[in-house]
């Protein structure tokens, strides 16, 4: 094979950021304080002001708030927010839990004194086991009990108190991170973690926000820029990042007015079997919509009339009757995507093994092709370097074994990507693109409406179509995942998440591309 905007107002994606560990965030805070010649209390005030601005923009003036504050810096944030809300005319009261002078952070003590200087009744010091959690349902709870400094699971009265608050019907907002949730690891299933509707996170996503076992506790994530030092951020390495519009637009290559269909490559989609022609039909159409100049589908003879009728712009080759028995005549093709609806027949397995033995340039491997490789694991080492595997979690498990949670699975994927010199697109709510160098890019587009049959086949087609146009494999994966999610977001906005089907993603791909113009 050879290789040849302005965002719609309905969407608001926060910028691409590195994802730092709790220790890196703490170091960034310290560096900012030193480099900016400010005190830690002044940085806390800056963060509190950002939170209050967000609250002011989202809640009417007659909203009542209760801030639950610990004695560390997260509690200091809560006390500062209480003071600033009171100054802006909101009804608010803070409860400082189990205060003792020997373990209160200096900035927490400073903000307690500032709040009490306005009105001593604005802050009440309580023992959590004596606090009556019958807060009226219309009052909004601000969670500032525990921050990113949490080093072990909550226990004793703290855990009991968090569980009590979880049973309240009140709307809850977490400051920086929900209390009890660690920033860098998936917690135990029985851990006491406050579940909130919104989290106001300072500067960075925490990795636990982006995984299903832990992200549900954080609700909607809002990243607030508090002016942490950009020199430190740029100089500090992280293997974990997010994909945003700027990243995608930087990858995207506008078309030349003097181009022709040959300029944008020839994509081959291999798949389909008796009863599973929909998958390859979706993939081949998506490859066209992604911009490939030519698309051919290699399918079993059974599906010829189905595909030619459904996708008249797609050329069609057949091999075998009900399943694919041989993969041939692909050497002149710029990009190949293989697997959608292909089935796991023994003849197809032999055809796939022969193809992998012969092919030397990157391919996109999905669905049943992944399942067949899982049955013949020796094929992993034979995959062309730079190939793109697109497993969902269960397919990944079949390929590489069990993992105890999704974060460990993702880190396992990083190891395998580097081991085999491949790119892995690990699909999920925040699909992660893992490069041959072990970099992990979490995608921030997409929605629950895309949890529908065929959505992964569309993604395979999009990535293959981009690869045909000469995009580097990791760039094809990143741009493809971003556009796939964005098209799904546009579709969901127009027709709802519930009504969204896979073909709607392809149909809205054009509007996703238009955001780059």
What token pair was written down for 403? 């993992």
Residues 517 and 115: their CA atoms lie apart, in Å, by: 49
Averaged pLDDT score across all residues of the chain: 94
The superfamily CATH assigns to domain 22-237 is: YjeF N-terminal domain (3.40.50.10260)
Q: Note the pLDDT tens digit of each residue in 135-181.
A: 999 999 999 999 998 878 888 888 999 999 999 999 999 999 999 99
- Percentage of the residues of the chain whose pLDDT score is greater than 70: 96
The 10 Å CB-count burial string (b at 16+, else e) for 402-420 is ebebbbebbbbbbebbeeb
The closest alpha carbon to 85, from 140, 9, 134, belongs to 140
pLDDT band at 100 (very low <50, low <70, confident <90, very high): low
Instruction: Indicate the range of 5-19, 37-51, 52-66 predicted with least confidence.
Output: 5-19
DSSP state of 434: E
What is the predicted pLDDT for the residue at 436?
98
Q: Residue 141 CB: number of other CB atoms within 10 A?
A: 21
pLDDT at 13 over 60: no
Residues 340 and 269 sit within 8 Å (Cβ to Cβ)? yes
Q: Where are the domains of the chain?
A: 22-237, 260-514
Q: Fold for 260-514, please state it.
A: 3.40.1190
Q: Note the pLDDT tens digit of each residue in 484-494.
A: 999 999 999 99
What is the predicted pLDDT for the residue at 5?
33
What is the predicted pLDDT for the residue at 234?
95
Q: Note the pLDDT tens digit of each residue in 332-362.
A: 999 999 999 999 999 999 999 999 999 999 9
| Residue located via tokens 């067949």 | 372
What is the predicted pLDDT for the residue at 15?
45
What is the predicted pLDDT for the residue at 11?
39
Entry pTM: 0.94
What is the predicted pLDDT for the residue at 12?
39
Residues 76 and 106: their CA atoms lie apart, in Å, by: 9
Q: Note the pLDDT tens digit of each residue in 378-412.
A: 999 999 999 999 999 999 999 999 999 999 999 99
Residues 371 and 367: their CA atoms lie apart, in Å, by: 7
């Amino acid at each position: 094979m050879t290789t040849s905007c302005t965002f719609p107002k309905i969407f608001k994606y926060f910028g691409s950021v590195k994802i730092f560990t709790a220790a890196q965030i703490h170091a960034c805070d310290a560096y900012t304080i030193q480099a900016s010649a400010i005190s830690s209390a002044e940085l806390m005030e800056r963060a509190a002001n950002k939170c209050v601005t967000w609250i002011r923009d989202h809640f009417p003036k007659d909203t009542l708030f209760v801030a639950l504050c610990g004695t560390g810096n997260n509690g200091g944030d809560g006390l500062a927010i209480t003071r600033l809300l009171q100054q802006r005319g909101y009804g608010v009261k803070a409860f400082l839990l189990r205060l003792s002078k020997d373990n209160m952070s200096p900035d927490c003590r400073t903000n307690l004194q500032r709040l009490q200087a306005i009105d001593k009744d604005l802050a009440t010091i309580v023992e959590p086991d004596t606090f009556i959690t019958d807060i009226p349902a219309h009052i909004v709870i601000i969670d500032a009990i525990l921050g990113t400094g949490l080093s072990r699971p909550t226990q004793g009265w703290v855990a009991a108190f968090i569980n009590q608050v979880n049973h309240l019907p009140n709307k809850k907002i977490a400051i920086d991170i929900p209390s009890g949730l660690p920033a860098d690891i998936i917690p135990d299933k029985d851990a006491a973690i406050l579940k909130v509707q919104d989290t106001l996170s300072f500067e960075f996503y925490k990795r636990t926000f982006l995984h299903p076992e832990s992200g549900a506790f954080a609700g909607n994530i809002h990243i607030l820029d508090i002016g942490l030092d950009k020199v430190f951020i740029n100089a500090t390495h992280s293997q974990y990042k997010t994909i945003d519009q700027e990243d995608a637009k930087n990858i995207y290559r506008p078309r030349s007015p003097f181009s022709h269909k040959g300029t944008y490559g020839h994509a081959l989609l291999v798949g389909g079997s008796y009863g599973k022609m929909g998958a390859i039909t979706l993939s081949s159409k998506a490859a066209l919509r992604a911009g490939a100049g030519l698309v051919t589908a290699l399918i079993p003879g059974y599906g010829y009339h189905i595909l030619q009728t459904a996708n008249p712009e797609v050329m069609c080759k057949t091999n075998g009757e009900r399943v694919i028995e041989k993969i041939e005549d692909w050497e002149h093709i710029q990009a190949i995507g293989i697997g959608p609806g292909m089935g796991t027949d023994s003849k197809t397995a032999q055809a796939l093994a022969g193809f992998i033995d012969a092919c030397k340039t990157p391919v996109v491997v999905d669905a049943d092709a992944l399942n067949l490789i899982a049955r013949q694991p020796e094929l992993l080492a034979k995959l062309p370097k730079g190939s793109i595997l697109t497993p969902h979690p269960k397919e990944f498990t079949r390929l590489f074994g069990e993992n105890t949670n999704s974060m460990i699975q993702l880190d396992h994927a990083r190891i395998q990507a580097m081991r085999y010199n491949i790119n892995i697109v690990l699909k999920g709510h925040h699909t992660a693109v893992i490069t041959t160098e072990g970099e992990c890019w979490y995608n921030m587009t997409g929605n629950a409406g895309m949890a529908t049959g065929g959505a992964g086949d569309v993604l395979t087609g999009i990535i293959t179509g981009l690869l045909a146009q000469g995009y580097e494999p990791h760039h094809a994966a990143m741009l493809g995942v971003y556009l796939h999610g964005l098209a799904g977001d546009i579709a969901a906005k127009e027709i709802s998440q519930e009504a969204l089907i896979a073909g709607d993603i392809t149909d809205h791909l054009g509007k996703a591309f238009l955001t780059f113009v």
